[in-house]
A = this chain, B = another copy of it.
Amino acid sequence: MSQYEAYYPLWEKLNIDAAKLEGALGAAQKRHADLFLTQADRPKAMGYFDDLWGNLQTGRIAELDKLKSEGKPLVGTFCIFVPEESVTAAGGACYGLCSGSPASIPEAEKELPRNICPLIKSAHGFKLLRVCGYTQSSDFIYGETTCEAKKKTWEILAKHHPVHVMHIPQKKDEKSMRLWREEVEEFQEHIEEVVGRKLSFEEHKKGVEIINAKRKALRRLDALRGMHGDIMPISGLDSLLVMQLSFIDEPVRFTEALNTLCDELEERINAQKSVFEKETTRLMILGTPFAAPNWKLHQIVESSGGAIVNEESCIGHRYFKDDVNLEGVTTNEELTARMMERYKNIDCACFTPNEARIEKIVKMHKERQTDGVIYYTLSFCHTYNVESHLVAEAMKKEGIPFLAIESDYSPEDAGQIKTRVEAFIESIRLKRGA
Protein backbone atom coordinates (compact mmCIF):
# COMPACT_ATOMS: atom_id res chain seq x y z
CA MET A 1 0.00 0.00 0.00
CA SER A 2 1.30 3.44 -0.88
CA GLN A 3 2.24 5.71 1.99
CA TYR A 4 0.40 8.47 0.10
CA GLU A 5 -2.82 6.52 -0.34
CA ALA A 6 -4.73 8.77 2.06
CA TYR A 7 -4.00 11.73 -0.21
CA TYR A 8 -5.07 10.14 -3.46
CA PRO A 9 -8.65 11.46 -3.30
CA LEU A 10 -7.35 15.02 -2.70
CA TRP A 11 -4.78 14.70 -5.49
CA GLU A 12 -7.41 13.41 -7.88
CA LYS A 13 -9.74 16.25 -6.95
CA LEU A 14 -6.94 18.67 -7.83
CA ASN A 15 -6.38 16.88 -11.15
CA ILE A 16 -2.89 15.82 -10.07
CA ASP A 17 -1.19 12.95 -11.86
CA ALA A 18 -0.98 10.93 -8.63
CA ALA A 19 1.29 8.17 -9.89
CA LYS A 20 3.79 10.65 -11.29
CA LEU A 21 3.70 12.80 -8.17
CA GLU A 22 4.28 9.78 -5.95
CA GLY A 23 7.37 8.86 -7.97
CA ALA A 24 8.67 12.44 -7.83
CA LEU A 25 8.08 12.64 -4.08
CA GLY A 26 10.10 9.51 -3.48
CA ALA A 27 13.07 11.07 -5.24
CA ALA A 28 12.62 14.43 -3.49
CA GLN A 29 12.48 12.84 -0.05
CA LYS A 30 15.54 10.75 -0.72
CA ARG A 31 17.49 13.76 -1.95
CA HIS A 32 16.48 15.72 1.15
CA ALA A 33 17.53 12.85 3.39
CA ASP A 34 20.88 12.45 1.63
CA LEU A 35 21.76 16.14 1.67
CA PHE A 36 20.23 17.40 4.89
CA LEU A 37 19.83 14.57 7.37
CA THR A 38 23.43 13.45 6.90
CA GLN A 39 24.79 16.78 8.16
CA ALA A 40 26.50 16.60 11.55
CA ASP A 41 25.29 18.64 14.55
CA ARG A 42 22.09 19.93 13.00
CA PRO A 43 19.95 22.12 15.23
CA LYS A 44 17.13 20.09 16.75
CA ALA A 45 14.58 22.69 15.69
CA MET A 46 15.26 21.84 12.05
CA GLY A 47 12.95 18.92 12.69
CA TYR A 48 9.95 21.16 12.06
CA PHE A 49 11.26 22.13 8.64
CA ASP A 50 12.23 18.57 7.73
CA ASP A 51 8.69 17.50 8.57
CA LEU A 52 7.28 20.35 6.53
CA TRP A 53 9.39 19.19 3.58
CA GLY A 54 7.91 15.72 4.11
CA ASN A 55 4.38 17.15 4.06
CA LEU A 56 4.91 19.45 1.12
CA GLN A 57 2.52 17.75 -1.28
CA THR A 58 0.34 16.08 1.35
CA GLY A 59 -0.42 17.76 4.69
CA ARG A 60 0.19 21.30 3.48
CA ILE A 61 -1.93 20.76 0.37
CA ALA A 62 -4.74 19.46 2.58
CA GLU A 63 -4.50 22.67 4.62
CA LEU A 64 -4.76 24.74 1.45
CA ASP A 65 -7.76 22.69 0.38
CA LYS A 66 -9.45 23.49 3.66
CA LEU A 67 -8.81 27.21 3.15
CA LYS A 68 -10.27 26.98 -0.31
CA SER A 69 -13.39 25.27 0.98
CA GLU A 70 -13.82 28.27 3.29
CA GLY A 71 -13.74 30.65 0.32
CA LYS A 72 -10.23 31.92 1.03
CA PRO A 73 -8.00 32.86 -1.91
CA LEU A 74 -5.07 30.63 -2.95
CA VAL A 75 -2.55 32.55 -5.00
CA GLY A 76 0.50 30.99 -6.64
CA THR A 77 3.38 33.31 -7.52
CA PHE A 78 6.98 33.39 -8.74
CA CYS A 79 8.03 36.77 -7.43
CA ILE A 80 8.31 38.76 -4.22
CA PHE A 81 6.51 41.68 -5.86
CA VAL A 82 3.14 39.96 -5.58
CA PRO A 83 1.71 41.32 -2.29
CA GLU A 84 1.33 38.32 -0.01
CA GLU A 85 0.26 40.76 2.73
CA SER A 86 -3.03 41.29 0.92
CA VAL A 87 -3.69 37.57 0.49
CA THR A 88 -2.84 37.01 4.15
CA ALA A 89 -5.22 39.86 5.03
CA ALA A 90 -7.98 37.89 3.33
CA GLY A 91 -7.12 34.75 5.32
CA GLY A 92 -5.82 33.09 2.18
CA ALA A 93 -2.47 31.65 1.19
CA CYS A 94 0.10 33.16 -1.16
CA TYR A 95 2.85 30.74 -1.99
CA GLY A 96 5.75 30.11 -4.33
CA LEU A 97 5.02 27.52 -6.98
CA CYS A 98 7.12 24.42 -7.68
CA SER A 99 9.92 25.58 -9.94
CA GLY A 100 13.22 24.14 -8.72
CA SER A 101 13.46 20.71 -10.29
CA PRO A 102 15.15 19.62 -13.52
CA ALA A 103 12.72 16.71 -13.83
CA SER A 104 9.86 18.77 -15.24
CA ILE A 105 11.96 20.67 -17.79
CA PRO A 106 11.83 18.25 -20.78
CA GLU A 107 8.03 18.46 -20.73
CA ALA A 108 8.15 22.27 -20.66
CA GLU A 109 10.52 22.36 -23.62
CA LYS A 110 7.69 21.05 -25.78
CA GLU A 111 6.22 24.57 -25.53
CA LEU A 112 9.15 26.76 -24.48
CA PRO A 113 12.61 27.44 -25.90
CA ARG A 114 15.52 25.57 -24.35
CA ASN A 115 17.58 28.67 -23.79
CA ILE A 116 15.48 30.38 -21.16
CA CYS A 117 15.80 30.26 -17.37
CA PRO A 118 15.39 26.78 -15.83
CA LEU A 119 13.12 28.14 -13.10
CA ILE A 120 10.48 29.15 -15.62
CA LYS A 121 10.78 25.96 -17.61
CA SER A 122 10.59 23.86 -14.45
CA ALA A 123 7.45 25.67 -13.28
CA HIS A 124 5.79 25.36 -16.67
CA GLY A 125 6.64 21.67 -16.75
CA PHE A 126 5.10 21.12 -13.30
CA LYS A 127 1.86 22.51 -14.68
CA LEU A 128 1.97 20.43 -17.86
CA LEU A 129 2.76 17.26 -15.88
CA ARG A 130 0.20 18.12 -13.16
CA VAL A 131 2.56 17.17 -10.32
CA CYS A 132 2.55 20.28 -8.10
CA GLY A 133 -0.22 20.54 -5.54
CA TYR A 134 0.39 24.28 -5.20
CA THR A 135 -0.08 24.99 -8.88
CA GLN A 136 -3.11 22.73 -9.05
CA SER A 137 -4.69 24.26 -5.92
CA SER A 138 -4.28 27.89 -6.85
CA ASP A 139 -7.31 29.97 -7.80
CA PHE A 140 -4.95 31.78 -10.08
CA ILE A 141 -1.28 32.16 -10.76
CA TYR A 142 -0.14 35.73 -10.36
CA GLY A 143 2.57 36.35 -12.89
CA GLU A 144 4.44 39.59 -13.29
CA THR A 145 6.65 41.35 -15.80
CA THR A 146 9.98 41.35 -13.96
CA CYS A 147 11.66 39.20 -16.57
CA GLU A 148 10.84 38.77 -20.22
CA ALA A 149 10.95 34.99 -20.35
CA LYS A 150 8.41 34.85 -17.53
CA LYS A 151 6.34 37.65 -19.05
CA LYS A 152 5.95 35.78 -22.31
CA THR A 153 5.57 32.35 -20.70
CA TRP A 154 2.42 33.53 -18.90
CA GLU A 155 0.76 33.79 -22.32
CA ILE A 156 1.41 30.10 -22.87
CA LEU A 157 0.74 29.05 -19.28
CA ALA A 158 -2.64 30.77 -19.53
CA LYS A 159 -3.73 28.00 -21.91
CA HIS A 160 -3.45 25.60 -18.96
CA HIS A 161 -4.34 27.58 -15.81
CA PRO A 162 -5.89 30.97 -14.89
CA VAL A 163 -3.08 33.53 -14.94
CA HIS A 164 -3.15 37.22 -14.07
CA VAL A 165 -0.19 39.44 -14.80
CA MET A 166 0.90 42.29 -12.56
CA HIS A 167 2.68 45.00 -14.49
CA ILE A 168 5.88 45.80 -12.58
CA PRO A 169 7.60 48.89 -14.02
CA GLN A 170 11.24 48.94 -15.08
CA LYS A 171 12.13 52.25 -13.48
CA LYS A 172 11.31 53.72 -10.09
CA ASP A 173 10.56 57.34 -10.92
CA GLU A 174 7.35 58.93 -9.77
CA LYS A 175 5.24 57.97 -12.78
CA SER A 176 6.45 54.39 -12.65
CA MET A 177 5.62 54.14 -8.96
CA ARG A 178 2.13 55.52 -9.69
CA LEU A 179 1.55 52.79 -12.28
CA TRP A 180 2.84 50.17 -9.87
CA ARG A 181 0.61 51.36 -7.05
CA GLU A 182 -2.42 51.11 -9.31
CA GLU A 183 -1.39 47.54 -10.14
CA VAL A 184 -1.16 46.69 -6.42
CA GLU A 185 -4.58 48.21 -5.82
CA GLU A 186 -6.01 46.13 -8.67
CA PHE A 187 -4.48 43.05 -7.09
CA GLN A 188 -6.11 43.89 -3.77
CA GLU A 189 -9.46 44.34 -5.52
CA HIS A 190 -8.95 41.01 -7.22
CA ILE A 191 -8.41 39.33 -3.85
CA GLU A 192 -11.52 41.04 -2.49
CA GLU A 193 -13.48 39.68 -5.44
CA VAL A 194 -12.45 36.15 -4.47
CA VAL A 195 -13.58 36.59 -0.85
CA GLY A 196 -16.66 38.48 -2.00
CA ARG A 197 -16.30 41.52 0.25
CA LYS A 198 -14.13 44.55 0.99
CA LEU A 199 -11.42 43.95 3.58
CA SER A 200 -11.23 46.32 6.52
CA PHE A 201 -8.20 48.40 7.45
CA GLU A 202 -7.75 46.16 10.49
CA GLU A 203 -7.60 43.08 8.26
CA HIS A 204 -5.14 44.70 5.87
CA LYS A 205 -2.99 45.79 8.79
CA LYS A 206 -3.12 42.33 10.32
CA GLY A 207 -1.92 40.87 7.02
CA VAL A 208 1.06 43.19 7.02
CA GLU A 209 1.84 42.47 10.68
CA ILE A 210 1.90 38.72 10.07
CA ILE A 211 4.29 39.05 7.13
CA ASN A 212 6.42 41.66 8.94
CA ALA A 213 6.81 39.18 11.81
CA LYS A 214 7.88 36.47 9.37
CA ARG A 215 10.43 38.80 7.77
CA LYS A 216 11.73 39.80 11.21
CA ALA A 217 12.28 36.15 12.14
CA LEU A 218 14.10 35.58 8.83
CA ARG A 219 16.35 38.56 9.55
CA ARG A 220 17.03 37.07 12.96
CA LEU A 221 18.14 33.81 11.32
CA ASP A 222 20.25 35.78 8.85
CA ALA A 223 22.10 37.62 11.62
CA LEU A 224 22.59 34.49 13.73
CA ARG A 225 24.01 32.41 10.90
CA GLY A 226 26.32 34.98 9.41
CA MET A 227 27.20 37.82 11.78
CA HIS A 228 29.10 35.98 14.47
CA GLY A 229 32.39 35.45 12.70
CA ASP A 230 33.72 31.94 12.86
CA ILE A 231 30.77 30.78 14.95
CA MET A 232 28.21 29.60 12.43
CA PRO A 233 25.50 27.70 14.34
CA ILE A 234 23.68 26.42 11.24
CA SER A 235 24.72 25.39 7.75
CA GLY A 236 23.91 27.44 4.69
CA LEU A 237 22.08 24.41 3.34
CA ASP A 238 19.74 24.29 6.33
CA SER A 239 19.21 28.05 6.24
CA LEU A 240 18.33 27.81 2.56
CA LEU A 241 15.73 25.13 3.25
CA VAL A 242 14.14 27.37 5.89
CA MET A 243 13.98 30.29 3.46
CA GLN A 244 12.57 28.12 0.70
CA LEU A 245 9.84 26.92 3.04
CA SER A 246 9.07 30.51 4.07
CA PHE A 247 7.25 30.74 0.71
CA ILE A 248 5.18 27.66 1.39
CA ASP A 249 4.17 27.46 5.02
CA GLU A 250 1.36 29.09 6.99
CA PRO A 251 3.14 32.29 8.06
CA VAL A 252 2.20 32.50 11.77
CA ARG A 253 3.14 28.90 12.47
CA PHE A 254 6.29 29.27 10.37
CA THR A 255 7.39 32.36 12.27
CA GLU A 256 6.94 30.57 15.58
CA ALA A 257 8.96 27.56 14.42
CA LEU A 258 11.67 29.83 13.02
CA ASN A 259 11.93 31.77 16.26
CA THR A 260 12.28 28.48 18.12
CA LEU A 261 15.13 27.59 15.78
CA CYS A 262 16.69 31.01 16.34
CA ASP A 263 16.48 30.54 20.13
CA GLU A 264 18.47 27.34 19.71
CA LEU A 265 20.99 29.09 17.43
CA GLU A 266 21.43 31.82 20.05
CA GLU A 267 22.21 29.17 22.64
CA ARG A 268 24.75 27.67 20.28
CA ILE A 269 26.41 31.03 19.77
CA ASN A 270 26.56 31.59 23.50
CA ALA A 271 28.19 28.17 23.77
CA GLN A 272 30.57 29.07 20.86
CA LYS A 273 29.29 26.09 18.93
CA SER A 274 29.73 26.19 15.17
CA VAL A 275 28.74 23.57 12.61
CA PHE A 276 31.83 24.52 10.57
CA GLU A 277 35.49 24.22 11.38
CA LYS A 278 37.34 27.34 12.43
CA GLU A 279 39.13 28.01 9.14
CA THR A 280 36.11 27.53 6.92
CA THR A 281 35.87 30.13 4.14
CA ARG A 282 32.77 32.26 4.71
CA LEU A 283 30.97 33.18 1.49
CA MET A 284 27.97 35.25 0.48
CA ILE A 285 25.89 34.37 -2.57
CA LEU A 286 24.60 37.15 -4.82
CA GLY A 287 22.08 37.00 -7.62
CA THR A 288 19.18 34.86 -8.66
CA PRO A 289 16.93 32.73 -6.43
CA PHE A 290 17.26 29.09 -5.43
CA ALA A 291 13.82 27.49 -5.70
CA ALA A 292 13.54 24.18 -3.82
CA PRO A 293 14.93 21.61 -4.47
CA ASN A 294 17.72 23.56 -6.19
CA TRP A 295 20.39 22.92 -3.56
CA LYS A 296 23.24 22.33 -6.01
CA LEU A 297 25.49 25.31 -5.31
CA HIS A 298 25.04 25.14 -1.53
CA GLN A 299 25.88 21.46 -1.53
CA ILE A 300 28.98 22.07 -3.64
CA VAL A 301 30.27 25.02 -1.59
CA GLU A 302 29.68 23.40 1.78
CA SER A 303 31.36 20.17 0.72
CA SER A 304 34.39 22.12 -0.58
CA GLY A 305 35.58 23.90 2.54
CA GLY A 306 33.17 26.81 2.31
CA ALA A 307 30.22 28.01 4.35
CA ILE A 308 27.41 30.13 2.92
CA VAL A 309 26.42 32.83 5.38
CA ASN A 310 23.90 34.77 3.28
CA GLU A 311 21.98 34.71 0.00
CA GLU A 312 21.38 38.16 -1.46
CA SER A 313 18.55 36.58 -3.46
CA CYS A 314 14.78 36.86 -3.70
CA ILE A 315 14.64 33.57 -1.86
CA GLY A 316 16.80 35.14 0.83
CA HIS A 317 17.83 38.60 1.96
CA ARG A 318 16.07 40.57 -0.80
CA TYR A 319 12.79 39.09 0.41
CA PHE A 320 13.09 39.89 4.09
CA LYS A 321 15.45 42.85 4.32
CA ASP A 322 12.70 45.49 4.58
CA ASP A 323 9.42 45.64 6.49
CA VAL A 324 6.32 47.65 5.77
CA ASN A 325 6.53 50.52 8.24
CA LEU A 326 3.19 50.64 10.05
CA GLU A 327 4.00 53.55 12.33
CA GLY A 328 1.15 56.02 12.50
CA VAL A 329 -0.80 54.34 9.70
CA THR A 330 -4.57 54.65 10.12
CA THR A 331 -6.10 54.12 6.65
CA ASN A 332 -5.89 51.59 3.84
CA GLU A 333 -4.56 54.29 1.56
CA GLU A 334 -1.67 55.10 3.89
CA LEU A 335 -1.02 51.39 4.30
CA THR A 336 -0.72 50.87 0.54
CA ALA A 337 1.62 53.87 0.34
CA ARG A 338 3.83 52.24 2.97
CA MET A 339 3.78 48.95 1.07
CA MET A 340 4.95 50.84 -2.00
CA GLU A 341 7.80 52.39 0.00
CA ARG A 342 8.93 48.89 0.81
CA TYR A 343 8.62 47.67 -2.78
CA LYS A 344 10.60 50.62 -4.00
CA ASN A 345 13.54 49.41 -1.91
CA ILE A 346 13.60 45.96 -3.51
CA ASP A 347 16.66 46.09 -5.71
CA CYS A 348 15.75 43.53 -8.38
CA ALA A 349 18.01 43.69 -11.43
CA CYS A 350 14.86 44.21 -13.52
CA PHE A 351 15.11 47.90 -12.67
CA THR A 352 17.26 50.41 -14.46
CA PRO A 353 19.25 51.93 -12.96
CA ASN A 354 19.78 49.69 -9.93
CA GLU A 355 22.77 51.25 -8.22
CA ALA A 356 21.39 50.82 -4.71
CA ARG A 357 21.94 47.10 -5.07
CA ILE A 358 25.69 47.49 -5.36
CA GLU A 359 25.91 49.78 -2.34
CA LYS A 360 23.83 47.27 -0.41
CA ILE A 361 26.08 44.36 -1.38
CA VAL A 362 29.15 46.20 -0.10
CA LYS A 363 27.30 46.97 3.14
CA MET A 364 26.19 43.36 3.51
CA HIS A 365 29.74 42.18 3.04
CA LYS A 366 31.01 44.57 5.69
CA GLU A 367 28.33 43.49 8.19
CA ARG A 368 29.23 39.85 7.72
CA GLN A 369 32.96 40.20 7.03
CA THR A 370 32.74 37.45 4.43
CA ASP A 371 35.81 36.09 2.71
CA GLY A 372 34.30 36.49 -0.75
CA VAL A 373 31.16 36.47 -2.85
CA ILE A 374 29.81 34.10 -5.46
CA TYR A 375 27.58 35.74 -8.05
CA TYR A 376 25.02 33.13 -9.05
CA THR A 377 23.02 33.56 -12.25
CA LEU A 378 20.37 31.14 -13.40
CA SER A 379 21.21 30.40 -17.04
CA PHE A 380 19.89 32.97 -19.51
CA CYS A 381 18.75 35.46 -16.85
CA HIS A 382 19.85 38.55 -18.74
CA THR A 383 19.13 41.16 -16.06
CA TYR A 384 21.24 39.61 -13.30
CA ASN A 385 23.81 38.41 -15.79
CA VAL A 386 24.49 41.81 -17.38
CA GLU A 387 24.37 43.51 -13.97
CA SER A 388 27.09 41.16 -12.73
CA HIS A 389 29.65 43.22 -14.66
CA LEU A 390 28.94 46.30 -12.55
CA VAL A 391 28.88 44.24 -9.35
CA ALA A 392 32.20 42.61 -10.25
CA GLU A 393 33.72 46.05 -10.83
CA ALA A 394 32.52 47.26 -7.45
CA MET A 395 33.82 44.12 -5.70
CA LYS A 396 37.20 44.59 -7.33
CA LYS A 397 37.31 48.17 -6.12
CA GLU A 398 36.49 46.99 -2.59
CA GLY A 399 38.99 44.14 -2.76
CA ILE A 400 36.30 41.50 -2.23
CA PRO A 401 37.10 38.15 -3.91
CA PHE A 402 34.48 37.48 -6.60
CA LEU A 403 33.45 34.39 -8.52
CA ALA A 404 30.66 34.34 -11.14
CA ILE A 405 28.75 31.13 -11.78
CA GLU A 406 25.99 30.65 -14.31
CA SER A 407 24.14 27.38 -14.06
CA ASP A 408 20.88 25.62 -14.73
CA TYR A 409 19.27 22.73 -12.85
CA SER A 410 21.04 19.89 -14.58
CA PRO A 411 23.57 17.93 -12.49
CA GLU A 412 25.96 17.84 -15.46
CA ASP A 413 27.98 20.93 -14.57
CA ALA A 414 28.29 20.06 -10.87
CA GLY A 415 31.83 18.71 -11.27
CA GLN A 416 32.99 21.76 -13.18
CA ILE A 417 31.41 24.12 -10.65
CA LYS A 418 33.01 22.21 -7.78
CA THR A 419 36.44 22.60 -9.41
CA ARG A 420 35.91 26.35 -9.78
CA VAL A 421 34.57 26.76 -6.23
CA GLU A 422 37.50 24.79 -4.79
CA ALA A 423 39.97 26.93 -6.72
CA PHE A 424 38.20 30.08 -5.53
CA ILE A 425 38.31 28.98 -1.90
CA GLU A 426 41.95 27.96 -2.27
CA SER A 427 42.85 31.38 -3.72
CA ILE A 428 41.13 33.10 -0.80
CA ARG A 429 43.03 30.96 1.70
CA LEU A 430 46.33 31.64 -0.01
CA LYS A 431 45.64 35.38 0.16
CA ARG A 432 44.82 35.14 3.87
CA GLY A 433 48.05 33.20 4.31
CA ALA A 434 46.10 30.40 5.99
Chain A interface (Cβ < 8 Å from any Cβ of B): 111-113, 115-116, 145, 147-149, 151-156, 165, 167, 169-171, 173, 175-176, 178-179, 182-183, 349-350, 352-354, 379-380, 382-383, 385-390, 406
Contact A148 B350 (CB under 8 A): yes
Chain B residues with CB below 8 A from A116, complex form:
382, 385-386
Contact B167 A170 (CB under 8 A): yes
Contact B390 A349 (CB under 8 A): no
Chain B residues with CB below 8 A from A178, complex form:
175, 179
Determine how close the nearest CB of chain B comes to the CB of A223; give it in whole angstroms: 31
Question: If the complex has contacts A156-B390, A382-B380, are A352 and B115 also in contact, measured as CB distance less than 8 A?
Answer: no
Chain B residues with CB below 8 A from A115, complex form:
115, 379-380, 385
Give how many copies assemble into the complex.
2
Contact of A390 among B155, B385, B386, B387 (CB under 8 A): B155
Contact of A383 among B112, B148, B154, B383 (CB under 8 A): B148
Contact B145 A389 (CB under 8 A): no
Contact A352 B152 (CB under 8 A): yes
Chain B residues with CB below 8 A from A387, complex form:
152, 155
CA distance A387 to B147 in the complex (A): 14
Contact B380 A380 (CB under 8 A): yes
Determine how close the nearest CB of chain B comes to the CB of A183; give it in whole angstroms: 8
CA distance A182 to B173 in the complex (A): 12
Chain B residues with CB below 8 A from A386, complex form:
112-113, 116, 148-149, 152-153, 155-156
Chain B residues with CB below 8 A from A145, complex form:
170-171, 352
CA distance A153 to B353 in the complex (A): 10
Question: If the complex has contacts A147-B148, A175-B179, are A156 and B382 also in contact, measured as CB distance less than 8 A?
Answer: no
Question: If the complex has contacts A153-B386, A352-B155, A382-B149, are A169 and B167 also in contact, measured as CB distance less than 8 A?
Answer: yes
Chain B residues with CB below 8 A from A354, complex form:
155
Chain B residues with CB below 8 A from A155, complex form:
352-354, 386-387, 390
Chain B residues with CB below 8 A from A383, complex form:
148, 151-152
CA distance A149 to B170 in the complex (A): 13
CA distance A20 to B65 in the complex (A): 67
CA distance A167 to B174 in the complex (A): 12
The closest CB in chain B to the CB of A167 belongs to B171
A-B contact pairs, 27 of them (CB 8 A): A113-B388, A115-B385, A116-B385, A145-B170, A145-B352, A148-B148, A148-B350, A148-B383, A149-B382, A151-B352, A152-B349, A152-B352, A152-B382, A152-B386, A153-B386, A155-B354, A155-B386, A155-B387, A156-B386, A156-B390, A165-B171, A165-B352, A167-B169, A170-B170, A175-B182, A380-B380, A380-B382
